[in-house]
Structure 1
């Protein structure tokens, strides 16, 4: 990547990040607003990211990579504990980047299941479930666990003091990782 193109990319991502952080709704952040905040033309955005989805994806992936590269999920230990750590960190990430998370999940043609990172998260959780319970429908259960950290649910439960998210995630993970014959 040329130096000026790389510089513009970082300027645009930083401007988009500030706008998403300040917004209350993903629809408040337009390509026009990002271009103006970054001090570049709209053509620069479209050449660099393709469309709004490309911009949202790039910013989400940048922030997600920073979050999980800084302290990767451990490779050792109990699969249920690793899954709980992954889900808890994902929930907290989505709380901190709530409007961006909503934009990213909505950007998958209305489905969070078609965004860029979903397959990776699903494979990670399915692998942990399969390691703990060889007979479990790991693929389905991984989808169910990921549904518990969707951005729209994080948004729905935001500011509700009657909801103990950590306890709920912990209980959900325990129920998935428990041998299905124990009822």
Structure 2
């Protein structure tokens, strides 16, 4: 019995969702640098203490939002339909992953920036280890001649929130998407 997951109370679940939704809305409206826990609490209709009790800190709140989105993508990678999920050739899966991750970052760029700023080293999070491992395993299959672990980190760095935000603000989102897709495609093409 001690190993059963603790069920969240209905009001706690409702508050959690309200806090996450309020944070999303505030980040979209005001940007990563202009959202405080006080604003989140007021917008969610809860006390500041409730936000801190539930998430611990601004970093914890940003982490919860990032993890929620990242897990949805992870689930598609692990068990979704090809080419993102299993069953497609490694090169197709790699391209599909980067296309999806790019869209995830673009759709949540302010959140990604807030998360990076609020977290000591976001790359030590378990979800990052999953991404690096997924990319590296695909690269090892496609390019056994490469250092797949380092190359995975290099490729993933192209999705840096600040870089993406710059291209969004200058109206060059699709240009960046094409460049990243082209880069990944060139790496995913087996040399003859």
Q: Which residue of 2 aligns with 1:50?
A: 56
In structure 2, what is the Cα distance between the partners aligned to 1:162 and 1:17? Answer: 21
Deviates more, 1:125-134 or 1:69-78: 69-78
Deviations 1:6-29 (Å, cap 9, x if unpaired)? 2211111111111112123x1211
Residue 149 (structure 1) aligned with residue 159 (structure 2)? yes
The structure-2 alpha-carbon separation of the partners of 1:106 and 1:114, relative to structure 1 and needing over 3 Å to count, comes to farther
Q: Is 1:64 the equivalent of 2:80?
A: no
For 1:136, what is the secondary structure of its paired residue? coil
How many angstroms does 1:53 deviate by? 0.6
Contact 2:94–2:188 under 8 Å retained in 1: no
- Normalised to the residue count of structure 2, the TM-score between the two structures is 0.82
**Which stretch shows the higher mean deviation, 48-57 or 59-68?**
59-68
Q: What pairs with 1:77-96 in structure 2 (closer than 5 Å)?
A: 77-96=88-107
Give the RMSD, CA atoms, in angstroms. 2.3
Structure 1, gaps ≥5 residues long: none
- Within the candidate set 139, 146, 150, 1:136 is matched to 146
**Could you say which residue in structure 1 is the equivalent of 2:3?**
none
Q: Distance in 1 between matches of 2:106 and 2:174?
A: 14
- For residue 12 of structure 1, the aligned residue among 13, 19, 38 is 19
Aligned residue for 1:148, secondary structure, equals: helix
Indicate the SS of the match to 1:94: helix
Corresponding residue for residue 176 of structure 2:
165
**1:34 pairs with one of 40, 48, 55:** 40
Q: 2:9 aligns with which of 2, 12, 22?
A: 2
Instruction: Single out whichever of 62-71 and 142-151 deviates more from structure 2.
Output: 62-71
Alignment size in residue pairs: 179
Structure 2: gaps spanning 5 or more residues: 1-7
